Amino acid sequence: MEMQRGVVGDLASIVELATAVAEHGLIGDVARLLHGARRADVTVVHATVSWRADRRGTSLRSPMAAALARNPGQILHGTDAAELVSELGPAESDLISHRGSGFTPFTGTNLDAILRASGIETVIATGVSLNVGVLGLVLSAVDLGYRVVVPTDAVVGVPAHYATEVLHHTIAPLAHLSSIGHILEVWASR
């Protein structure tokens, strides 16, 4: 979820989130999980976001979207900011579901169609942020009938204490909490 240069990488526009990602080592942790997924022939889907420079087709009605839109270079289509961080790929086998508006990866995208066409029943949610995007991903996936697993060491939110509360009080009743290590063990034992 949004593991892009303009969100979590060197071109990130929300400094507090990028700092939390760096302190957590999130990029390296997600890279380790993705490498394991590819070795186990598990489908990797990157949920990305970018906007047109003129903002057409992007709703700016929420306070967060309006604030982000004040940055004229905010994750624009075709720019370096819209690219995945290099450690994550994409590998040739990876799929990408892109959105140009909103805060969750299912609404208004082809993500559900990609997953169903691939025979996927379980979604492993990683990335940012527990505040909005990952939470929206989990809620939508559960509503659509997917089993959801959230490796707690592969997601970040800000501030850290709030992210922990979201994991335990909001996401835990909806998804199975796990770790990257446990997921890799399960894949290795198949």
Local structure of 128: helix, strand or coil: strand
More confident residue, 97 or 63: 97
The percentage of residues in the chain with a pLDDT greater than 70, rounded to a whole number, is 100
What digits encode the pLDDT tens for the residues 55-72?
A: 888 888 887 877 777 777
User: Which residue, chain included where needed, has tokens 């900011």?
Assistant: 81
H or E element: which one contains 161? helix 160-166
Q: Which residues contact 144 (CB under 8 A, 6 or more apart)?
A: 106, 112
pLDDT at residue number 60 = 81
The DSSP 8-state label assigned to residue 86 in this structure reads G
Q: Which domains does the chain have, with CATH numbers?
A: 15-188 (3.40.50.850)
pTM of the model: 0.94
Which residues have a Cβ under 8 Å from the Cβ of 113 and sit 6 or more positions away? none
pLDDT in tens, 135-146: 999 999 999 999
- Return the residue matching tokens 């805060």: 103
* pLDDT value at residue 189: 94
